[in-house]
Chain A
């Protein structure tokens, strides 16, 4: 019992621990109240930190890095540094960096990230950048309607730089094999699906497995294609409208007819790409540059025509990816100067064919390297003009859309529909109450 008694009589460990605990307890409050020191500001050693995402292959990031680091500022302005941030857990990465004042001064990122951080007072508004773009003529080069979604009552939260479009693709040889015409509206979509099924292919390719949002996008796209959507013009939640019910009933019909792959509910983006590559996918919603992505550039994979809804509506959805600036910068003027210069260099990325999204500038869509691909031209001419954002009927974006895009409510809704064991109204009802509980008023 020697040692036992020797320790019982000491309180060192416990008291010591409590002291530590008390010290630690005060720390999160300080950190959370934004009590960081100025010495750790975003630029660190007087550089504009630019954070970018892996938007495409590593060659993309190499090229973007070259642009950012090759930027030669006018006198008095700071140079820029380039950093790639992984998509996995990116919200965690940005949040923790911003909270600790080690975040970027300028960044790309999630489609609605700028609105989320603006809500928390971390975004530097881009009105001055927009003014500069007006002066140098680039403002007039924007494709129609791409800048408007970023205008909030406090100013522009970000500036768009690429459009992540959702468009229908098809495999020509499968349609020939099935002996059916390309769909132009919903009834012909159903018909084509049935015909494709007979040749062992699927007429509405999608997926909502781990980390795959294309299924979610298919749902919203069909709602929007029918003149519906999740929000009204004024940004009010409006899930249960008749157009949505009709759209979801149609998707359920596709599911029950076996036109949607029964395993689609668990498909990752890789599984989806494989379906396209392996000639299992005849028709379906996907991104720009599908042939390159799935690895079949034989010319058999083509962009389809937009489809008309039962009430004559024609629409798809688009995610305008954007570049935002943060309040935590060594020099706001330098952030702005860098952003304007960077936007001016974007064409290089399309010229080198590194992007799998549409450019936001007309002049880039006219580059021979871009326009030589008929799929691209078709998307710019036929799809971009009818594209709406996740705000559906509304014009501006907001932070709530981040909750809609990546959140659990939409994902569960999509998976419920894709498994087909439900009716449209009750699924939409659950979706609506799920959204209500997480949306900030």
Chain B
């Protein structure tokens, strides 16, 4: 992002620049003026330093020199050197007694030919020298001795140590001639460790390096600072660090810059502060004002440009609502040219007959209170075409916040409005479809539920009446005349309902041929009955269809919350009960949910409660009715019959609970309980050696299709008793469910038996029978009971037996209550006989006793037979 340079930037940059320039020029001036002084100072300091260091060194060397001179003049040594004595021990012993100079390392003794004739090692040395350095030392001492012998003068030499730091260290050698009669006959060379400059803080400050060099060397000649040491031949030079001046200069400049910067900072800061307030701020204010003006101009220009290019129609009026400016979009939308609009009021130009006056009023109120407003209304173009406009009007304020006009931004929303209308209509249609029956146009169950719930909740005080209508034998119409006829009947019934109900009544088709009328709140039973009767009468009238008359009827169940029997939520169920009663009473009539029905319903409800309890307590138990071989009259099996050992009511047969259990969908559970107990009983009997050859269970089509039933039975490891399922013939009458065939195949695969129960009661086709291929047909006991006295019954029994034989199916006769029945059935060819003549349904204990007795009897008979044969 590019930063804009402002007067602030310029001012501060200039100020900083001047400040910097002042500081730097001060520093440069200081440097230029001080440099010669620095150089001279360093030179002087170096001179002083080197002289001081030389003096210090001389002071260090002097004892060594003195010792050397002393030793060299020592008569014993001279005698030794001259060869007059052969031992130097006395000299060396004397050295041991002396206080030797600090740093003394060795003393060499040379003869006239510069051969080492003895050497004295100082007992305390700073460190040991390495062999190479020792050899160098020896050689240098020898050379020095030669010089001494050659000149007869004292000599000295310096041997620098290898680099040990910035300050030179090494050994100084003082060579003194051993004179005999003034002539050099030998030499004493003392070696001492010397560290020049170690205690010279000034040297460190100056970054200097002391060095001892040969006085005749070029290094001595070229050194800036040198001092001849007291010992001959050696010069101390001071090598100053060339960069020292620069460093000192840098430090000086740094100090100067800092000092000048500090000194100038306050004046400059004051100037900056004052300049900021006296120059910058006014300038900045002026600049800001200019910028603002520029921005406003730019903004206005941009706004005007935007407004001209905008899709929305923009209109600006004065406070009197007269147009002062409009954009091209406004002209396009309205058809008016800009010049036609100036000075006109928009309302007068654009509003017309369909303009909603409420919206106009809303605009007016907003304008009066100078508040913004947004409306949608119908405007008219110059040519008179209406269009929907969405208009936003906002007052315009000047800088003093005074309103000076209005701006309107509008757009043509006709298309959107049309789309909204279409969407609303479509939604209404969908909602209507969702809540109404497509065929009849009546409300559907969904609408009914919603309305009923609403009225139940909000009209609790007012009575609600419900009429439940079910067409009688409507299935026959469909079956005989086709579904179109059925639909026509339904539409006619709907028309009757629609015509007979009031506006606030709700006629509903809840499914198939079932209708409900929810009467308006407050309707009593009387009106309900009246309405129902009126409708029944009209429905009963033949309905012409396709040149024919369709006769139909309807049953009506009426329930009313005003009767005090049930509350509103239970009204539909109560009306159902009443309808069931009407149908039970012969159809085509009304039934009112009265006290009697209410009691019956309560009874059913109580029974249902007891059934649930009984299931929980295991009160449903199997009873067993034995079946006998017709020829031998021996037990060939038992049929399991459910019984309810109700603690209060005693032993109940299925007639007392089956319907209620079916309504509660508890049949399967009930069956499962009875079946499990029966299987357990049979296992006990098998263990006791009393097992019957077969046990049969009555099952419904749903039950037999339950895979759990087959699995449960298959799990039983029954060795002596075969399991059989009895299915009602009626199952095969109607269109049997597809799953039934699969369930039957499964039963076959598991080796279970299949019996058709109550055969002859219905009209099951023989083809269906053949497809099922049962093991046994059980003749309806009504045929058996009637057989002795009725030819028809007898013929039917005979026919059944004949068919069974032809198909290889065994036949069982139920309801054998007398010896006559037994004989007749046996004669007619039945294989198995079952009925009160032989045994009534037995509890497990009774069956056990019965079987045990029959077994004994059989055993007894067998014994007798065997005995008689004998």
Our verdict on whether A and B bind, yes or no, reads no
Measured CB to CB, the residues of A under 8 A from B are none
